[in-house]
Structure 1
């Protein structure tokens, strides 16, 4: 079973989006950045530093059972050119050439490489086409697969309940 931590997920998201202000100093206070919760997805919005533009994202964070150092942060953003981006942040130390695999309800969707690693993790990002959005909207569970060691693929399940409602409210 996985533990979902929405606030931690967004803190990692913020670390990967340096234009957004950090929430770390105010971690114990109620979080006004959460605009809604849809299933296990949190809709988070922050005003970007140096502008009045607001950046919003659907965010979900999951830890692997029995492996507290293995967690993923899944972030859905509106792309600047239109459409949506799926961004997944995996922990440092995973086997990067193995990439990030995705299955939805037992069906292999594909695999992508990691783009870059920062202090808080390694990021993979793909543009979400209509087919992928549909699978996320109608599916039950997305299984993201990473490799902590060369021969050990580990799948981390992300519940998809609430995704369609959250995406519809993503400004």
Structure 2
């Protein structure tokens, strides 16, 4: 399920809220993702940010399917101790797809050939997005 979490980051003057969902691969409990939707501080764009565990293959990026349709890939932008982050700007076509879809699958790669699909429930995405301050 999607939840909205708000806090004031260090050095920031205002509260920032994100919509997030934590998911795990059914057959690989160690393979979890945090899927976060946030608005940039200047309110000019929305970003889909996905945290994948360390050890994923970075050059392949993160695949995304919605309702069985290949949507494309997000590329990893940085890694920290808690894992590696892929980010993509939520342009209107992608945003509409996520709002109207029922289920998404994020695909992480451990080898160039082996992708692991991790299901993300899109129920509540549109309502949660609308509620983001």
Cα drift, residue 56 of structure 1: 0.4
Q: Return the alpha-carbon distance in structure 2 between the equivalents of residues 129 and 59 of structure 1.
A: 18
Higher helix share: 1
Q: Looking at CA atoms only, which structure, 1 or 2, has the larger radius of gyration?
A: 1
1:151 lines up with 2:113 in the alignment: yes
Which of these residues, 16, 32, 36, is aligned with residue 75 of structure 1? 36
Q: Return the alpha-carbon distance in structure 2 between the equivalents of residues 67 and 157 of structure 1.
A: 12
Gaps of 5+ in 1: 1-39
Corresponding residue of 2:22: 61
Cα drift, residue 69 of structure 1: 1.3
Corresponding residue of 1:123: 85
Corresponding residue of 1:135: 97
Corresponding residue of 1:114: 76
Corresponding residue of 2:63: 101
Cα drift, residue 49 of structure 1: 2.5
Q: How many residues align?
A: 132
TM-score by length of 1: 0.74
Deviations along 1:99-147, one digit per CA (max 9) or x if unpaired, are 1111100111111221111000000101001111111111001110011
TM-score by length of 2: 0.94
Cα drift, residue 79 of structure 1: 1.8
| Secondary structure of the corresponding residue to residue 156 of structure 1 | strand
CA RMSD of aligned residues (A): 1.2
Q: Return the alpha-carbon distance in structure 1 between the equivalents of residues 90 and 12 of structure 2.
A: 27
Gaps of 5+ in 2: none
| Secondary structure of the corresponding residue to residue 59 of structure 2 | helix
